[in-house]
Structure 1
Amino acid sequence: MSEVYAFIEAEKTTHHVALLCRLLKVARSSFYAWLAGEKTRRAKQAADDVLAHEITVLHLASRSSYGVPRIHAGLTRPAKRAVPAPDLIARDFTAPAPGMKLVGDITYIPTDEDWLYLATWLDPATREIVGYSMADHHRASLVVDALGMAEVSP
């Protein structure tokens, strides 16, 4: 049924929704309810994609030897997850002059082909990105490459 609603959504710029619903024998209220739930469906799909990625990472890290029980345990045991690094700047994201501090972050972006990992370094004094690196992995070299790109002048 969602294919019918998707068709109505695609064609509503050329035809009235009431006409399309009447021709396809669906209630307009059902179409609008489906349309309102689209944001929730996309959020659930994004969460499912992240979970599938975590499962794939665990499976590949085990050299394809882990099955369902071990992967489930790896996802549910907090001791198996990374521990946050200490906050060395005490949440103070300011600097008196450029080049005094750098703050960084890593994120991943889903693409049509695979995951793209992005590491960035920001100078809190100027609020400029001074270095970045992108790769298909999130190993330490991603962060080191981004730091190498950062040109900090005291």
Structure 2
Amino acid sequence: MAKYEFIDSQRKHAHPGWTVVNMCAWLEVSKSGYYNWRFRPQSATAARRQALTARVRHFFEESDGTYGYRRIHADLAEEGTEASPELVRQIMRDEALYPCQPRPRRVTTIPDDDAADIPDLVQRDFSADRPGVKFVGDITYIHTWEGFVYLATVIDCYSKKVVGWSLADHMRSELVEQALLNAAATTRIEPDAIWHSDRG
């Protein structure tokens, strides 16, 4: 049966010269045996597995590709579909359904309860009539093979371009200070310019 399955899988790719006749000869099986296998009635076991595979794929896609076999097994059990956890795991492996678990969110804004309120001078207006008068920025994190790094950016509201940035493995004030220094080195900043972050 394994030889027939191989022939059937390669037949769909239409490799030059890989005809059913040639592959049967190479694998020393009869052409009639292959066609008898291919057009045989589907067994009850195969039909059940095909239906189960469809339900596994359904729950996997419903989870946006985040559910592993345990969660999908629980969903199957809840709807009344019987299947062992190991069978669900095998189906997911055969169908290349590998879950991608969302990483925990990193907090990049830590408010200081003792700090005075800072007025919002931008008021959701992120436009500017000339460069160097209004800037916005924020800190985001990037996951690397060696851990998290943090990126601070400075964006000119006039050009919408990043005019300064800084990258470090911490979120101390020096991270933002360096981004602002880089911005000052690449663009003119007016004396009364506004700097707006997510804390005002």
Question: TM-score w.r.t. structure 1 length?
Answer: 0.55
Does residue 66 of structure 2 align to residue 31 of structure 1? no
Does residue 137 of structure 2 align to residue 82 of structure 1? no
Q: CA deviation at 1:30?
A: 3.0
Q: Name the structure 2 match of 1:152.
A: 187
Q: CA deviation at 1:96?
A: 1.0
- Greater gyration radius: 2
Q: Name the structure 2 match of 1:95.
A: 128
Does residue 125 of structure 2 align to residue 104 of structure 1? no
Mapped to 2, the partners of 1:127 and 1:33 lie a distance apart of 42
Mapped to 1, the partners of 2:58 and 2:146 lie a distance apart of 32
Which stretch of the first structure deviates more once superposed, 118-127 or 28-37? 28-37
Q: Deviations over 1:77-99 (max 9, x none)?
A: xxxx6268542222211111111
Structure 1 gap ranges (5+): 1-13, 17-21, 55-80
- Does structure 1 conserve the Cα–Cα contact (< 8 Å) formed by 2:167 and 2:175? yes
Match of 2:165 among 110, 132, 140: 132
Mapped to 2, the partners of 1:94 and 1:102 lie a distance apart of 9
Q: CA deviation at 1:113?
A: 2.1
Mapped to 2, the partners of 1:31 and 1:100 lie a distance apart of 55
Q: CA deviation at 1:34?
A: 4.2
Question: TM-score w.r.t. structure 2 length?
Answer: 0.44
Amino acid at match of 1:49: P
Mapped to 2, the partners of 1:85 and 1:140 lie a distance apart of 17
Mapped to 2, the partners of 1:112 and 1:33 lie a distance apart of 32
Instruction: Name the SS for the 1:102 alignment partner.
Output: strand
Q: Which structure would you say has the larger RCO, counting Cα contacts within 8 Å and 6 or more residues apart? A: 2
Mapped to 2, the partners of 1:102 and 1:152 lie a distance apart of 11
Length, aligned pairs only: 105
Mapped to 2, the partners of 1:131 and 1:95 lie a distance apart of 17
Instruction: Name the SS for the 2:124 alignment partner.
Output: coil
Q: Name the structure 1 match of 2:104.
A: 49
Q: Name the structure 2 match of 1:8.
A: none
Task: State percent identity of aligned pairs.
Answer: 36
Q: CA deviation at 1:101?
A: 1.2
Mapped to 1, the partners of 2:142 and 2:179 lie a distance apart of 17
**Which one has a larger percent helix, Structure 1 or Structure 2?**
1
Mapped to 2, the partners of 1:86 and 1:139 lie a distance apart of 22
